[in-house]
Amino acid sequence: MGAVAMKDRSTGLVDKGYPVYEATLYIYCDACGSFNIETYIPFIKLLIIAVIITVGVFLALHDKQWLMCLIPLGLLALFLPWRDILLKYKCRKCENSQITDYNSLHYQSYDMSMVDVPDRLTQKRYIDTDVLHFQQFT
């Protein structure tokens, strides 16, 4: 999968006197070039999460002191970026799941004419345009 900047918008925030712009990156397949991408959570990651939860509950049931640790850890877990950690991308056309984190096919940025699916079927990520590595998506 590759990513190319297709849209940008002002966030309304100001950083050191300059407005902050956020770019919308569209994810595409490196193999066939399609923007028809789906997300999934690999089974092994679901299994790891289930084991961790089961062990935590088991410890809390056998020793009530563990419960004091699980409450703050549970609250912390609610605010972690789970979507970025758990999700993987896969092409709906060719089933490719290899991911690159740049514009590997050198698509023209901000050219919506090459998007081959409706906007609701595309996968998007967001990045500030002033981030140093933003140029790899244009």
Between 86 and 28, the more confident residue is 28
Query: For the purposes of burial, counting CB atoms within 10 Å of the CB of 128, is it exposed (0-12), middle (13-18) or buried (19 or more)?
Result: middle
Compute the distance between CA of residue 128 and CA of residue 126 in angstroms, rounded to an integer: 7
Of the candidates 79, 77, 99, the one whose C-alpha atom is nearest the C-alpha of residue 88 is: 99
Provide the token pair at 94.
Answer: 């060719």
CB 52 within 8 Å of CB 132: no
Give the SS3 label for residue 51: helix
Can you tell me the mean pLDDT for 113-125? 86
User: Which pLDDT band, with edges at 50, 70 and 90, does 83 fall under?
Assistant: low
What backbone torsions phi and psi does residue 94 show, to the nearest 5 degrees? Answer: -115, 0
pLDDT tens, 58-76?
877 787 777 777 777 777 7
Residue 81 has pLDDT above 80, yes or no: no
Can you tell me the mean pLDDT for 111-123? 86
pTM of the model: 0.70
